[in-house]
Amino acid sequence: MEFNGRFIVLILFVITRVNSLAYDVHWLSGPATIERDVQPLKQTIDIYCYTGTPKNLLTLWQTVKFHIKIKNDEFSQYLGDNPEQVYKDYTEDSYGWAINPFQKKSYKSVSLDIFTPTCMAVNTKEKHSIELHVQRVDLWRVLMMVVGAALIFMSRTLSGNPVFFYLCGIVIGVSASFMVLVYYISRFIPGRTLTYGLLIGGWTVGVYLVQQIWENIRSIMAAYQSYIFWYILMAGFISFVVCYRIGPPKNQRSKNLVMWTLQGVGVVVIIFSSQYQEASTAVTVITLGTKYFPKSILYYIQAFWRRRFPPKPRLLSSEEYYEQGARETQRALDGLRRYCASPDCQQWSVMLRLHDAKRFASFVEGNSHLNDDEVIDYESYAFSMEHSKPVANSTRNMEISDDDSSEYGDED
């Protein structure tokens, strides 16, 4: 009995040891590419695991994918949260312990949860490579967040925009026509046979039928692209005619419903634009808070800030002072000339009170308000004021240096 017990323990140890060496785990935490050739004698399988990343704001728009580079589609993939689960699925599928004719379709690109460890194994006889692609900033996610915020901020404007109304009507009309078409096609499927199949096969039959229907739709769309194009064109035209006949909403309550619907869509788009749900939810709250923040409080804060920290006035330079004086003088003269030429001004009464009526008439006709003598006097005054300024230090230094050089010359 003791020998049998030791033998059983030895067998269990060997089995455990074999299972522990049955697969090789490759832990990947960043961008990497692993190439694999076909090795018929290899007894172990390769499992590729993404370690995950901690939550921080730098991962707000991050995307992580497994890319399988292979020439054909003759491969199977197995995904799980840990290597043991992946290895279990791999062995059950390889040895036929859990035969599943409705296995999910394998894809060459698999999106991963960036915060959760994920493992994958590939079963194929072809040469292939596994690439862990880490995209720090996914432009598609950024675009989704921007579009969601734009829908929230522009919801009131878009609710009364006729162009937006027609575009939404066309999109909804085309989508609804596809749903009606699918409904009438589904009526030709025998309901009783389908029900019996679901009762016998369970959820696997339902998943299989859904996958087959989706694959058939994709194949039909690929084979009859021209017909689908004309169908969408006609459905869009009919939707536009219906929307044109109904017209954009004019009632304020209808506009409010459209506005709230757009804001709801914007909230959903922002939340699902990132895998970091907490951060995207915070962005949604900040966006809605900014949208509905009372402007009176904002004006009060702005006025308080200006009283507490008044802006310092900027003084004009001499050039700016003269330029502004000339500009404002010319503007005032033009305004005076227009007023004197208008019917509001009593020209004859003004001319009777003037000493030189001819000069006033010349000014109204567009001539200068100064005569030649006044211009000469002004220029002489400006010239005298310019030369009456105190001598600059550079000029004084120049004069001192000249005097010093003359004294040195006398000494020589």
CB 54 within 8 A of CB 116: no
Backbone angles phi, psi at 122, to 5 degrees: -125, 130
Q: What confidence score (pLDDT) does residue 352 get?
A: 78
Q: What confidence score (pLDDT) does residue 146 get?
A: 95
Half-sphere exposure in the Cβ direction for 12 (13 Å, CA): 6
Instruction: Return the closest-CA partner of residue 78 out of 91, 97, 65.
Output: 91
Q: What confidence score (pLDDT) does residue 410 get?
A: 44
Instruction: Return the closest-CA partner of residue 364 out of 402, 330, 333, 403.
Output: 333
Residue 161 CB contacts under 8 Å (≥ 6 apart), including other chains: 248
Tell me how far apart the alpha carbons of residues 84 and 49 are, in angstroms, rounded to a whole number: 11
Q: What confidence score (pLDDT) does residue 392 get?
A: 45
Q: Check if CATH label 2.60.120 holds for domain 2-137.
A: yes
Q: What is the CA radius of gyration of the chain?
A: 42
Which amino acid, one-letter code, is at 227?
A: Y
Q: What confidence score (pLDDT) does residue 388 get?
A: 64
Q: CATH 2.60.120 residue ranges in the chain?
A: 2-137
Tell me how far apart the alpha carbons of residues 154 and 33 are, in angstroms, rounded to a whole number: 44
Reported pTM: 0.59
The whole-angstrom distance between residue 340's C-alpha and the CA centroid of its chain comes to 59
Instruction: Return the closest-CA partner of residue 287 out of 274, 275, 270, 300.
Output: 270
Q: What confidence score (pLDDT) does residue 374 get?
A: 79
| Number of other residues whose CB lies within 10 A of the CB of residue 126 | 14
Pairing of strands 118-123, 23-28: unpaired
Sign of the C-alpha dihedral, residues 298, 300, 303, 305?
negative
Give the per-residue SS3 of the chain: CHHHHHHHHHHHHHHHHHHHCCEEEEEECCCEEEEECCCCCCCCEEEEEECCCCCCHHHCCCEEEEEEECCCCCCEEEEECCHHHHHHHHHHHHHCCCCCCCCCCCCCEEEECCCCCEEEEEECCCCEEEEEEEECCCHHHHHHHHHHHHHHHCHHHHHCCHHHHHHHHHHHHHHHHHHHHHHHHHCCCCHHHHHHHHHHHCHHHHHHHHHHHHHHHHHHHHHCHHHHHHHHHHHHHHHHHHHHHHCCCCCHHHHHHHHHHHHHHHHHHHHCCCCCHHHHHHHHHHHHHHHCCCHHHHHHHHHHHHHHCCCCCCCCCHHHHHHHHHHHHHHHHHHHHHHHHCCCCCHHHHHHHCCCHHHHHHHHCCCCCCCHHHHHHHHHHHHHHHHCCCCCHHHHHHHHHHHHHHHHHHHC
pLDDT in tens, the chain (412 residues): 444 555 554 555 444 444 444 778 888 887 888 887 766 556 678 888 998 888 888 889 999 999 888 887 778 888 888 888 888 888 877 654 444 444 555 568 888 899 989 998 888 888 888 888 888 999 999 999 999 999 999 999 888 888 888 888 888 888 888 777 767 666 665 555 555 555 555 555 555 566 666 667 777 777 778 888 888 889 889 988 988 888 888 888 888 998 999 999 999 999 999 999 999 999 999 999 988 888 888 888 888 888 888 888 888 888 888 888 889 988 998 888 888 888 888 877 877 788 778 888 888 888 887 777 777 887 787 667 666 655 444 444 444 444 444 444 444 3
